[in-house]
Chain A
Amino acid sequence: MDFGLIAQYLANGILLGTMYALVAVGFTLFFGVLDVIKFSHGDVLMLGTFIGFTAWMGLAAIGVTNPWVQLLGVLICSLGGTALIGAAIAKWLVLPLKKAPQLNTLLITLMLGTAIREAVRLFYPNGSNPKAFPALLPDAAVELGSFSLRADSVILVLAGLGLIGVLSLVINRTRLGLAIRAVAQDEETARIMGINYTLVVLATFAIGSGVAAFAGIMNGLYYNEINFGMGLILGLIGFSAAIIGGLGNLYGAILGGFLFAGLQVIGAALLPFASAYKDVFAFAVVIALMAWKPTGLIPERSSDRV
């Protein structure tokens, strides 16, 4: 295998890893504050991408042609809209089920995911067909032998990593982050300390969903194609990534995301002409990892209360 090919695999892996990490971060945040798994995450991501797509069409229709302005508009509409949707889901579907068995939250969000997916397919104009997402980033490319590095990929990876950095600052350095961490550690004590519990939960869901929408836009800008089913597999992978990293830990989610992308790329590279087996390989490794590290690579600090 020549250098160019290895570099290409590496570049692919880093881009995929950033995307998976952004999705996994949402799962880990929700689990942190509420101990719930919100399975509609992938479909909320898809919805956010479609909001962005609609915003782009609107901007193009009123005559805004500068791609950077368009991109800004797309990001504001998509992230803002999805954050609101995420908070709404928390308020009306997740919080009311707080007392019910955990599995109920899982099932209700799964069903919500199906409902979102079906609604987009049926009610978005021509929603059952893939849509061409605009290429808003410069597409200059550097060719090094068989390796081609494109400017848009680099920008996307940097932006994604930047967002993760900002998120980590918010969690670790701000008052809101302090409140989120407090609620994650002990809900009752946090309430006694005067933290507005509901507000913190809603804010967390808004942040997590906004980050997912960013991953969706990133997905759209990279593949230039979006469809109503894109959230399903991304959600599944993001969940697996959050788990192998260790739930409730920001760095675990990032590690898990890159690890999963790495497994897929290694699977595809080691099994040439049988690349269909790459998901079999990736998920088999996930099972083995769980046997080895039952609470993820960076385990959550918890003790069983008897």
Chain B
Amino acid sequence: MKFNIGTKFHRIVLAAGACAGLACGTAATAKETVALGFIGPLTGGVSSVGLGGRNSAELAIRLRNADPAAKYSYELEALDDECKPNVGVQVATKLATNRKLAGAVAHYCSAVAMGTVDVYHRFGLPMTVWGAVLPDITYGNDYPEITRVNGTMINQNETAAKFMTGLGYKTFAIIHDTTDYGKGHNSYLSKFLAEDGATVVGAFGVSADQQDFTAELTQVKALNPDVVVYAGLTPGGVRVRQQMAKLGITAVFQGVSGIKSDAYFEGLGGDLAEGTLTFLEGAPAEKLPGGAFFLTEYEKAGFSTPPEAYGPFAFAAMNLLIDAVEAVGPDRKAIVEYMGTVKDHESITGLITFDDHGQNTVALITGYVAQDGKWVVWEDSDYAKGTRSLPAPK
């Protein structure tokens, strides 16, 4: 590589750099500093979820640093994977080869996580997934370094299928984005719906950044299903719901965990969102004592963006990682071993127990319904009480 650099300038700045280095060296702290990593999509279409996760992980670290009982002081190294596998491999390599780093909390996009698990394994970095839901991330390998606090899409869709058929709905049309996330949801939901005796009358693959769904929805309208399902993330969900109304489709609208964000209401306004159903792993944050604590602390910390659906998981994952460091010290091998033994660990999303693949065995899935511009747990909603009703099965 060739740069136009004069030698003398180089020397001057190296000298200047040395001075700055001395200044830094004198500022010694009482506690040993441990670096912890975070990776998520901080730019691009799903960046709101990534930023929410980053803020939540940062909050976990801030709170622990404020705790005088903590043995170490922690610092966060947050990197952006842009939701692209090649960038993910790059930043994962950067974290994994940083010797100061004890562990990481990473990935919202499943395709990225699939590409990077090998990197963490190769360099022995303990990594806990905070958002990606593809089963293969934990079950597709035997890497002890990889763990996950959130559930997989298998549990989510099993519950969703039971719940929807329980309400009497028989025919479903599924629109899914063609990422692994949307496709995975499509195949698991179709499988469980068939087991529960319902029919999927049509499944449509769309690209994740598609603007116009009228072509697909026109066909959906002709099929006249009880329920229209969108398997994808918030932006697509907002558009599908919006354009359903344009075409006069009155079916129930069901989403997946990817649309459970405050952005859904911001994109739709309250009226159209009303009655949308969705499902998310774990107990609702506001129901658990720790969850309410998380939400108030998040509010207090003054972040400019909301935590979104997976913020609590990022917080829980980071807290678990910090607990591991507190227990066994900032040693990667020891942390990996510690993670293998995690059982009934308290967290704001419920108890965490890892199975032999490092997957948190949360069987608990919560159903939500949109009511008055908020996601309300189904059991607490006016719909469950019978004071409001969803469109009836045809």
Chains A and B touch (C-beta atoms under 8 A apart): yes
| Contact across chains for B218 and A223 when beta carbons are under 8 A apart | no
| Contact across chains for A118 and B218 when beta carbons are under 8 A apart | no
Residues of A within 8 A of B211 (CB): 219, 223, 230, 233-234
Provide the B209-226 mask, 1 if CB < 8 A to any CB of A, else 0: 101101110110110000
Whether B327 is near chain A, meaning CB under 8 Å from some CB there, is no
| Contact across chains for B305 and A128 when beta carbons are under 8 A apart | yes
A225/B268 contact (C-beta < 8 A), A273-B203, A275-B215 known: yes
Q: Identify which of residues 172-211 in chain B touch chain A, using a CB-to-CB cut-off of 8 Å.
A: 178, 202-207, 209, 211
| Contact across chains for B216 and A275 when beta carbons are under 8 A apart | yes
* Interface size, B (range): 35 or more
Whether B246 is near chain A, meaning CB under 8 Å from some CB there, is yes
Q: How far is the CA of A189 from the CA of B88 in the complex (A)?
A: 55
| Contact across chains for A141 and B47 when beta carbons are under 8 A apart | no
Residues of B within 8 A of A121 (CB): 43, 47
Residues of A within 8 A of B261 (CB): 129
Q: How far is the CA of A268 from the CA of B212 in the complex (A)?
A: 11
User: Which of the residues A2, A143, A268 comes within 8 Å of B215, measured between beta carbons?
Assistant: A268
| Contact across chains for A278 and B263 when beta carbons are under 8 A apart | no
Whether B51 is near chain A, meaning CB under 8 Å from some CB there, is yes
Q: How far is the CA of A9 from the CA of B222 in the complex (A)?
A: 12
Whether A198 is near chain B, meaning CB under 8 Å from some CB there, is no
Residues of B within 8 A of A153 (CB): 246
Q: How far is the CA of A107 from the CA of B263 in the complex (A)?
A: 33
The segment out of B109-117, B130-138, B236-244 that lies at the interface is B236-244
A227/B235 contact (C-beta < 8 A), A126-B305, A130-B263, A143-B248 known: yes
Q: How far is the CA of A5 from the CA of B247 in the complex (A)?
A: 11
Determine how close the nearest CB of chain B comes to the CB of A230; give it in whole angstroms.
Answer: 6
Q: How far is the CA of A131 from the CA of B266 in the complex (A)?
A: 6
Determine how close the nearest CB of chain A comes to the CB of B284; give it in whole angstroms.
Answer: 21
| Contact across chains for B222 and A16 when beta carbons are under 8 A apart | no
Q: How far is the CA of A128 from the CA of B247 in the complex (A)?
A: 27
Residue of A nearest to B202 (CB): A273
Whether B97 is near chain A, meaning CB under 8 Å from some CB there, is no
Whether B234 is near chain A, meaning CB under 8 Å from some CB there, is yes
Give the A interface residue count (CB, 8 A).
42
| Contact across chains for A128 and B218 when beta carbons are under 8 A apart | no
Provide the A34-78 mask, 1 if CB < 8 A to any CB of B, else 0: 000000000000000000000000000000000000000000000
Whether A101 is near chain B, meaning CB under 8 Å from some CB there, is no
| Contact across chains for B178 and A276 when beta carbons are under 8 A apart | yes
Q: Identify which of residues 273-304 in chain A touch chain B, using a CB-to-CB cut-off of 8 Å.
A: 273-276, 278-279
Q: Identify which of residues 191-219 in chain A touch chain B, using a CB-to-CB cut-off of 8 Å.
A: 219
Residue of A nearest to B203 (CB): A273
Whether B48 is near chain A, meaning CB under 8 Å from some CB there, is yes
| Contact across chains for B204 and A224 when beta carbons are under 8 A apart | no
**Chain B CB within 10 Å — which of A2, A8, A121 has the most?**
A8
Q: How far is the CA of A5 from the CA of B261 in the complex (A)?
A: 34
**Chain A CB within 10 Å — which of B202, B212, B248 has the most?**
B212
Whether A269 is near chain B, meaning CB under 8 Å from some CB there, is yes
| Contact across chains for B205 and A276 when beta carbons are under 8 A apart | yes
Whether A179 is near chain B, meaning CB under 8 Å from some CB there, is no
Residue of A nearest to B247 (CB): A148
**Chain B CB within 10 Å — which of A9, A126, A223, A225 has the most?**
A225
Whether A96 is near chain B, meaning CB under 8 Å from some CB there, is no
| Contact across chains for B221 and A224 when beta carbons are under 8 A apart | no
Residue of B nearest to A130 (CB): B267
Residue of B nearest to A224 (CB): B242
A279/B207 contact (C-beta < 8 A), A8-B218, A150-B246, A223-B243 known: yes
Residue of B nearest to A222 (CB): B246
Q: Identify which of residues 39-86 in chain B touch chain A, using a CB-to-CB cut-off of 8 Å.
A: 43, 45, 47-48, 51
| Contact across chains for B207 and A276 when beta carbons are under 8 A apart | yes
Q: How far is the CA of A131 from the CA of B238 in the complex (A)?
A: 9
Q: How far is the CA of A5 from the CA of B43 in the complex (A)?
A: 39
Provide the A228-268 mask, 1 if CB < 8 A to any CB of B, else 0: 01101110000000000000000000000000000011001
Q: Identify which of residues 1-45 in chain A touch chain B, using a CB-to-CB cut-off of 8 Å.
A: 2, 5, 8-9, 12, 16
| Contact across chains for B263 and A229 when beta carbons are under 8 A apart | no
| Contact across chains for A132 and B205 when beta carbons are under 8 A apart | no
Residues of A within 8 A of B203 (CB): 273
**Chain A CB within 10 Å — which of B212, B215, B248 has the most?**
B215
Q: Identify which of residues 91-145 in chain B touch chain A, using a CB-to-CB cut-off of 8 Å.
A: none
Residues of B within 8 A of A272 (CB): 219
User: Which of the residues A16, A130, A265 comes within 8 Å of B238, measured between beta carbons?
Assistant: A130
Q: How far is the CA of A165 from the CA of B13 in the complex (A)?
A: 63
Residues of B within 8 A of A223 (CB): 211-212, 239, 242-243
Q: How far is the CA of A146 from the CA of B234 in the complex (A)?
A: 28
Determine how close the nearest CB of chain B comes to the CB of A136; give it in whole angstroms.
Answer: 13
User: Which of the residues A5, A129, A276 comes within 8 Å of B234, measured between beta carbons?
Assistant: A129
Whether B168 is near chain A, meaning CB under 8 Å from some CB there, is no
24 example contacts (A-B, Cβ-Cβ < 8 A) are as follows: A5-B222, A8-B218, A12-B214, A12-B215, A121-B43, A128-B47, A129-B48, A129-B267, A130-B238, A130-B263, A132-B267, A132-B269, A219-B211, A225-B238, A227-B267, A230-B211, A233-B211, A264-B215, A269-B215, A273-B204, A274-B205, A275-B205, A275-B215, A276-B206
| A-B CB proximity, top 9 nearest | A268-B215, A130-B267, A129-B263, A276-B205, A148-B248, A132-B269, A128-B48, A12-B214, A8-B218
* Besides A150-B246, A225-B242, 9 other A-B contacts (C-beta < 8 A): A5-B219, A8-B218, A9-B215, A118-B43, A129-B267, A132-B267, A143-B248, A227-B235, A269-B215
